[in-house]
């Protein structure tokens, strides 16, 4: 290259070396900045090692919790399976118990029928033929529907009265309630006057918490207070109640004592 004086000037040009120098300068600047950053975190109390250790500890804790969660889930599944098996077993027992109760009810009905056929001569010629217990609205209110009829061949009209008692449990203890205690009108007994049969539909109201188990009917004829005829029926609010107690004449206390001494 010639200048105005006619002399030749030679200038060197190395673009690669300049690029390398700029790159080294940039890396050096980045290193300085990172070192300053780490120094600042170090001075602030932050440790990279502590951070790594914390992350590892959190990871181990997470794995432990996941394992514990899996174990609890398996235990819950096992408990649910056991409960389902127990529930199915209880259902089978309830079905078996229901079948047995139905069989017992049918046998009691048959027994009551045959008792009526072979019943010995009784001093009381009136008995309950049917007993039906019907719920009536609010809890504890029912209607007793039953029929009194003469046994054998009716020859004349008979009169007397029938006393009703309810046996059951109150707070787990046995309790017997008279008709006066459950009748809305506090009636002591029900009078009857019939030649063939007489129907009754009597409302009753049970005290709170009382769980009835059976209904007893004690029948007196005329003014004879020394003898009575008693029947008992299972408390059943669906269909006809089943008779559970053998029909018999009940002597007064004085006559019973005399009979015992005679024997």
How many C-alpha atoms does 86 have within 13 Å on its Cβ side?
6
pLDDT in tens, 148-163: 888 777 778 888 888 8
Q: Is residue 149 part of a domain?
A: yes
Rounded CA-CA distance 251/248 in Å is 10
Number of domains in the chain: 1
Rounded CA-CA distance 43/35 in Å is 12
Mean pLDDT, rounded, of the chain = 76
- Percent of residues, the chain, with pLDDT higher than 90: 2
| Global pTM value | 0.46
pLDDT of residue 43: 61
Name the nearest CA neighbour of 144 among 246, 235, 80. 235
β partners of residue 232: 216
pLDDT of residue 262: 28
Name the nearest CA neighbour of 220 among 122, 88, 77, 89. 122
- Assigned token pair, 120: 């010995």
Q: Is residue 174 part of a domain?
A: yes
Where in the sequence is the domain holding 128, given as residue range(s)? 123-262
CATH code: domain of residue 216: 2.60.40.150
Whether the Cβ atoms of residue 208 and residue 224 lie closer than 8 Å to each other: no
pLDDT in tens, 100-110: 877 787 777 66
pLDDT in tens, 179-229: 889 888 888 888 888 888 888 888 888 888 899 988 988 888 876 666 778
Q: Is residue 60 part of a domain?
A: no
Q: Is residue 29 part of a domain?
A: no
Q: Is residue 256 part of a domain?
A: yes
pLDDT in tens, 70-97: 889 889 888 888 888 888 888 888 888 8
Whether the Cβ atoms of residue 197 and residue 150 lie closer than 8 Å to each other: yes
């Amino acid at each position: 290259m010639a200048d105005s004086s006619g002399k030749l000037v030679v200038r060197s040009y190395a673009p690669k070396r300049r690029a390398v120098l700029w790159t080294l300068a940039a890396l050096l600047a980045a290193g300085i900045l990172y070192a300053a950053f780490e120094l600042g975190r170090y001075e602030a109390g932050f440790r990279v090692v502590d951070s790594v250790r914390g992350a590892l500890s959190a990871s181990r804790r997470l794995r432990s919790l996941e394992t514990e969660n899996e174990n609890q889930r398996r235990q819950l599944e096992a408990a649910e399976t056991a409960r389902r098996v127990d529930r199915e077993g209880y259902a089978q027992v309830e079905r078996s118990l229901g079948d047995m109760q139905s069989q017992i009810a049918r046998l009691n009905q048959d027994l009551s029928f045959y008792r009526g056929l072979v019943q010995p001569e009784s001093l009381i010629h009136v008995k309950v033929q049917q007993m039906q217990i019907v719920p009536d609205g609010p809890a504890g209110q029912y209607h007793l529907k039953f029929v009194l009829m003469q046994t054998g061949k009716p020859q004349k009209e008979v009169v007397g009265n029938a006393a009703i008692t309810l046996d059951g449990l109150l707070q787990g203890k046995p309790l017997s309630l008279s008709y006066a205690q459950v009748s809305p009108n506090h009636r002591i007994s029900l009078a009857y006057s019939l030649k063939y049969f007489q129907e009754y539909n009597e409302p009753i109201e049970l005290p709170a918490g009382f769980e009835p188990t059976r209904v007893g009917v004690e029948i007196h004829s005329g003014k004879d207070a020394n003898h009575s005829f008693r029947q008992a029926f299972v408390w059943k609010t669906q269909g006809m109640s089943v008779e559970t107690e053998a029909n018999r004449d009940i002597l007064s206390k004085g006559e019973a004592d005399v009979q015992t001494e005679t024997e």
